[in-house]
Amino acid sequence: MKLHIASALTAAVLCALGACAHAQDREVNADRARANFARPVVLAADDVRAFAPPPAGFADAHAGIAQGKVEPFTYDSAVTGKRRTAMVWLPAGFDKNRRYPVLYLLHGIGGNQDEWRGYVRANEVLDNLLAAGKIVPMIVVMPNGRALPDDRSPPPDKVFTQENAAGFARFEHDLLDSLIPAVDAAYPTQADRTHRAIGGLSMGGGQALNFGLGHPDTFAWVAGFSPAPNTEDPAKLAGEAAQAKDKLKLLYLSCGNRDGLINVAQGVHRQLRARGVAHVWNVDGFSHDRDSWAENLYHYAQLLFR
């Protein structure tokens, strides 16, 4: 558990580096990350909570609650040329003879496939929601969003490199061309866009918005939690969302009101609003941390596949 926490805490600092597909020639360094987090938070009138906070203990394990199964899933990557590993949550009562929708959850730049379950405690959030009858039973895939031959979380002195940054952009093709087909072949999924969702935190939030809005024929449900500066230009994303709004079932955007990176999410929200694209905009009371991400998973999961 300590390893997962350290990884995610590192992500909270490192994800601000701004490395992304559309700006890979941008200088990547720790000073840029610190400057991004030091931005003053300026809130508008609509930068408020869309939901009441979850009940106490919503992300804790509880006695008597049926637990889903978390298992490793390996697949061949055409991008890295290697065998890669994702973690998969199967809901309590999983029945291989029943078909399930699928949610893909992407981690931050300092994390890996264990960040959602180890730091955010996604499996506890989902177990509790399912036991309460508040979510549709689903399969949740938590991949490694760093598509490099060596996809381990790098040491601090190797994070601010173009190679590490490029791995997150390269994951787009790994996800679309290798991981999703492998999951659909191995599990009883409902393998169509209306039953496939994507979401992510921090760097993964930027990936989820970029990939989800860029591929509306693959994902009908898209969420970015505290998206980092790897997020595409807000006008571009809003334009893609406007073109795909008849295909999108849900576009969910969130950030904490003490998060120095809120300007990224605010920019996307304001462009979506200007173009008349329906979306959820949830500004909670947290910083760039697991409390925000766990809460938003709690809310997002309840809206999916309805």
Largest CA distance in the chain: 52
The predicted pLDDT at position 72 comes to 98
Judge whether 253 and 223 are in contact, CB under 8 Å. Answer: yes
Closest CA to 81 of 171, 148, 141, 177: 148
For the chain, how many structural domains are there in total?
1
Task: State pLDDT tens for residues 137-183.
Answer: 999 999 999 999 999 998 888 776 778 778 999 999 999 999 999 99
Residue linked to tokens 């072949």:
185
CATH of the domain at 11: 3.40.50.1820
Q: Does the pLDDT value for residue 34 go beyond 90?
A: no
Residues 23-46: what's their mean pLDDT?
Answer: 67
Q: Which residues contact 163 (CB under 8 A, 6 or more apart)?
A: 148
Higher model confidence: residue 25 or residue 292?
A: 292
| From 36-50, 188-202, 243-257, the region with the lowest mean pLDDT | 36-50
Containing domain of residue 35, as a range?
2-303
Name the pairing type of β-strands 221-225 and 196-201.
parallel
Model confidence at 33, in pLDDT bands (50, 70, 90)? low
Edge-to-edge strand ranges of the sheet holding 250-256: 69-76, 83-90, 139-142, 102-106, 196-201, 221-225, 250-256, 280-284
| From 132-136, 150-154, 170-174, 211-215, the region with the lowest mean pLDDT | 150-154
The predicted pLDDT at position 159 comes to 75
Q: Both tokens of residue 37?
A: 């987090």
Task: State pLDDT tens for residues 267-278.
Answer: 999 999 999 999
Judge whether 205 and 293 are in contact, CB under 8 Å. Answer: no
Q: Does the pLDDT value for residue 21 go beyond 50?
A: no
Residue linked to tokens 């905009």:
281
Q: Does the pLDDT value for residue 74 go beyond 80?
A: yes
Chain CA centroid to CA 262, Å: 16
Residues 220-249: what's their mean pLDDT?
Answer: 97
Higher model confidence: residue 162 or residue 195?
A: 195
Name the pairing type of β-strands 83-90 and 139-142.
antiparallel
